[in-house]
Structure 1
Amino acid sequence: MAKAIDVAKFFIEIVANNPNEDAMTNLRLNKLLYFAQAGSISSLGYTLIEEDFEAWDLGPVVKSVYKTFKEYGRNGIVNQSFDRQALTKEEQLYLLDVLRKYSTMSTSSLVNKSHEKGTPWYEVYYSTGDKIIPKYRITEYYEHIEIVDKFTLPFTEKDFVGTRDESNHLVLPQECDYAE
């Protein structure tokens, strides 16, 4: 599992280096962290973020991440140095997919999406007692919901001609082999 601050810094760095992205505010960052956690079970096979999320008024929040960037208020968070070794390549690619899907949504839309009736945030926020959103609730709710679009090639096996030999080299049928 990854530390929430490492995932947060990854998101901040990517957005800071892309002039077409909206500013990464603390509110937006925490919603992206939540959706990254939500989809990690189906995409990675494990929960990505080790810290718990809390059910706050404006949606799920990792308290330590909120406190780290609280000084920015509603302003965009400036680029943070990120240690690429903190996340695996597979995790980084997954997080890029999360950004790709959710970067087109406004921050208020992300808040609304996290507030939908029946979501783990909704169930915890409107219950009495502890405001920690248990990981198992996030896992159970989102395990069959596609959080990020699965990348697929627009081709099928039938679109290709030829076979692979024992060395895994492509062997074309004689009628398609124009090399000779």
Structure 2
Amino acid sequence: MYTANNIADFFLGRYAAEGKITPMKLIKLVYIAHGWYLGLTGKALIDENPEAWKYGPVIPSVYHSYKHFKNSPIRCEHDSEVTTGSEIIDKFLDRIWKVYGKYTGTQLSAKTHMPGTPWDITWNDLKDRNRSSLQILETDIKEHYQQLASKNANG
């Protein structure tokens, strides 16, 4: 398991030079990577629970690390050879970038806001669950990405 900022550093190190990664895009990429990893392996990728905020799922530590960039691309001095230390995880994250890196933060946000997503369930059904926290349940994330994997596998 990695810190959310470890995963953020990976995306920034490898891809900040070729694409405009704003804080919103980075947060959504880390969230989506965590979701897919959880859905495919049953294991958490990051050691932090995503939260449902007004504008979508947020990884608080990543938000606080990069919020000073506001809506601007993140400027960083990472090495493009950055690695997680695991070839399997590196390839997995490269695949996430290949599929989702072409989208803007706003487009990724729209994907995570769709009806039935873990954010939607948490944000809109909070009162029905009698939950005091806006943490998105790991079980909701896992189930959602397992369903996406099943749909992708079946056509």
CA–CA separation in structure 2 for the residues paired with 1:136 and 1:87: 27
Does 2:9 align with 1:9?
A: yes
Q: What is the match of residue 100 of structure 1?
A: 98
Mapped to 1, the partners of 2:35 and 2:110 lie a distance apart of 15
Equivalent residue, structure 1, for 2:67: 70
Which moved further from structure 2: 4-13 or 133-142? 133-142
Give the superposition deviation at 1:26.
Answer: 0.8
Deviations 1:90-147 (A, max 9, x none): 1111000000001222322211110011111001111233110011110112113139
Contact 2:56 2:119 in 1 (8 A): yes
The 5 Å alignment of 1:7-156 reads: 7-18=7-18, 21=19, 23-81=20-78, 84=82, 86-126=84-124, 127-128=126-127, 129-146=132-149
Q: Which has the larger radius of gyration?
A: 1
Structure 1 84/13 Cα, relative in aligned 2: closer, same or farther at 3 Å? closer
Aligned equivalents of 1:43, 1:89: Cα separation in 2: 17
| CA-CA distance at 1:85 after TM superposition | 5.8
CA RMSD of aligned residues (A): 2.2
Gaps of 5+ in 1: 151-180
Any unmatched runs of 5+ in structure 2?
A: none
Q: Whole-Å Cα distance in 2 between the matches of residues 85 and 40 of structure 1? A: 17
Per chain length, whose mean CA-contact separation is higher, i.e. which structure has more relative contact order (CA < 8 Å, sep 6+)? 2
User: 1:81 deviation in Å?
Assistant: 3.5
> TM-score by structure 1 length?
0.73
Query: How many residue pairs end up in the alignment?
Result: 146
SS at match of 1:47: coil
Q: TM-score, normalised by structure 2?
A: 0.84
Counterpart Cα distance in 2 of 1:100 and 1:133:
25
